[in-house]
Structure formats: C-alpha cells, structure tokens
Structure 1
Amino acid sequence: MTVADARAALARVRGLSVVDAVAKLRLGPGRTCEPVARVLDQALANAARAGLSPGQLIVAGGSATPAEPIVRVRRKAHGKADWISSETADVRVELQPAGAYEAAAVPVPVEAADEPALDSAPADARSVPVREALYDVLDPDLGVNVVDLGFVRGVTVDEHDIATLTMTLTSPACPLTGIMEDQIRTALLEDPGIVADFRVVWVWSPSWRPSDISDDGREQLRAIGFSTL
C-alpha cells in the first residue's frame, strides 16, 4: 500500500463511525483499501479493551507516512532472479467518541471558552425533582454524587414528561457512561417514577475541570482522602 493510497482511504472515511468506515473500506461502494481497514480493526480492538463502545467512535483523522519498503526476490527464467521493492506506509488513525467529535465541530463562543458550561439558568419546577434525584447517582470511582462533582450541566423536562440531562465526565475516554445511565434510570424511573423517561446528552466542550466541583463535593472528597483545588 502506498502512502497516497492510505491517505486517500483515510480521507474517504473521516467523520464516519469506525464500524461504517471498516465496512466501506472493505466492501465499498467505491475504492476499497483492506490494509487501512485492518488498521481500524486493530484500533477497534484496542478501544474495546479500554472499555469504549465501538459504535460510538468516529474516525476523526489520521496520517500516513513512508515506512520501510518490502523487498523480495523475483525468480526469472533460466535460474535468474532480481529484487522487487514495494512501497509501504505507516498508518495512524485518530478515533474520538461521537460526542467529542460533534462538539469539536461546533465553535465555542469566546466568552464561554474560559467558563464551565454549568446549568446557570433558573430551573423550572419540573426539573427540580430530577436534579434532586441525581444526588443519588454516584461516580463509582470517587463515591461522590454527579451533581456535586459538576457532571450535570443542564436539566430540562418537556411537555411529555421526558427529562433531558446534559452531562459530562472527567474525560471523553471515561468508560463510565453506561454505568451512570443505569444509575440514572434507577433514580428517575423506578417506582414511584419522577419522569416518564429520560435521555442523556454527553458533551465534552468545554471540558470538565476540578473547579466545577461544588463546595459540598470538595468536602466529600477531602473526607475520603482526596486533595482538591
């Protein structure tokens, strides 16, 4: 595979989910590229070992640079031979969680760039019980609730009694989104249910910072031996 072929393949699948990108490079339509598909296969395997969901990963970019050529012997008639040199490429891919990729495509206003996007708007009456229930949702690693940790950036409840929670975590690579959503489901929907249903919108820009932790959250962390800013 030449460097030009690898770069063209990466350009064709940029912005696709990794699963879709592998299918396109392996099966078409259009020109296929099995070597880059195999690189993405390996990236998927690495992501799975890190606890990331393959279906939520996007091909955000990549690079291809010249690598050591493959040199082999070509046999000719009458016992003669010569050498064949084949160009190869060192291919690297950049994967991002879908939420991080989408957020990166949306410009952040200058005035918001240095401030955490916390839910500063006045809460309507329907969102208050939802927010209160989220105090029962704990970060499994820290043992502190998601509200005091600053993970809850917004809560709204629509006319159909469906709550939309805008949330973040310490990193887009954090593998706890599924665990958090299970806890939220228990807190909001178990009898007696607070809302009819909910959805979580995970956002990563601006990124979470220790300054997002509430005073109560800092006290809880200090009590279990953490040093907070």
Structure 2
Amino acid sequence: MNEITNPDTAAPHEPATESAIPAEELDRLTDDIIGALKSVYDPEIPVDIYELGLIYKIDIDDDRNVTVDMTLTAPGCPVAGEMPIWVESAVGAVAGVGDVKVSMVFDPPWDPSRMSDEAKVALDFY
C-alpha cells in the first residue's frame, strides 16, 4: 500500500518502501487524487474536505485501487450519507484509479486543529 496523508493535518508516516507503481505515476496519482478531494466541499462550510482535515488516510494499492478513510465535522452531519458517495465519485474519476472504497471513521474525532493553514485563513480562525 502507498499511503498519502495530508501534511497539514496528519502525523508523519513511513512511506511504502516498494511499490509496483512507478514513482512518477504514483506522484501523478497522488496529486490527482488530492485535487479530486479538493473538489468536494462540506455544504455548510466554504472549504474543501481535504483542507478541512476530513481526510484521515488514503491508500493506493499496487492495482491502483484506492481506500479513503474520512470523517465529518460532526457525527450528525446532514450529508453523512452522501459525502462518502461524493468522495468515491470524485476519486473514481481520476485517470488510472481502479476501485474506490470510502470508510467513515470517527476516531479520532475531528476538531478545528486538523484544518490546514489555508482553511483556517479562509474561515478566519486566526
């Protein structure tokens, strides 16, 4: 598995040591997947879900299947049933991506400290 984490919101990780995916292609997939995630917005907050820190983990396996662990700003979010579908659709549209699985996780719970600096500026958290 090749794990992608948001450097603004995630703890450092050990990168995969070997991958069947050439490094250049993996870099392109990573950039394109992050770009796709940045096209998905929480309808109540004018910041994309990646910058909000709602994406906890992205794994790309050697067959280019993608698994995304994400959360919501609150467990009772009115789009809880829809947002994973939006994420699956956005990531699935990336050229070269195989199957996409989105898992909703609530541990650790989301809090504003997970937001990127860009999101904090956009929401006037400074």
Q: Is the 8 A contact 1:151 1:169 kept in 2?
A: yes
Deviations 1:63-115 (A, max 9, x none): xxxxxxxxxxxxxxxxxxxxxxxxxxxxxxxxxxxxxxxxxxxxxxxxxxxxx
- CA positional deviation for 1:119: 5.4
- Which structure carries more strand by proportion? 1
Structure 2: runs of 5+ lacking an equivalent: 1-8, 17-25
Asked whether 1:118 is paired with 2:21, we answer no
Q: How does 1:111-150 map to 2 (within 5 A)?
A: 118=10, 120-121=12-13, 125=26, 126-150=29-53
Aligned to 2:108: 206
Structure 1: runs of 5+ lacking an equivalent: 1-116, 223-227
* Aligned partner letter, 1:185: E
Give every structure 1 segment of 4 or more consecutive aligned residues whose post-TM-superposition deviation is greater than 6 Å.
Answer: none
* Aligned partner letter, 2:35: E
* Aligned length in residues: 107
- Which structure carries more helix by proportion? 1
The SS at the match of 1:199 is strand
Q: Is the 8 A contact 1:166 1:200 kept in 2?
A: yes
C-alpha distance in 2 between matches for 1:186 and 1:202: 15
Structure showing greater radius of gyration is: 1
C-alpha distance in 2 between matches for 1:194 and 1:179: 24
Q: Is the 8 A contact 1:131 1:155 kept in 2?
A: no
C-alpha distance in 2 between matches for 1:159 and 1:151: 25
The SS at the match of 1:130 is helix
Which has the bigger relative contact order, CA under 8 A and spacing at least 6?
Answer: 2
Aligned to 2:119: 217
Distance 1:170 1:214, change over 3 A: same
C-alpha distance in 2 between matches for 1:217 and 1:201: 23
- CA positional deviation for 1:132: 2.7
- CA positional deviation for 1:209: 0.9
TM-score, normalised by the number of residues in structure 2 = 0.70
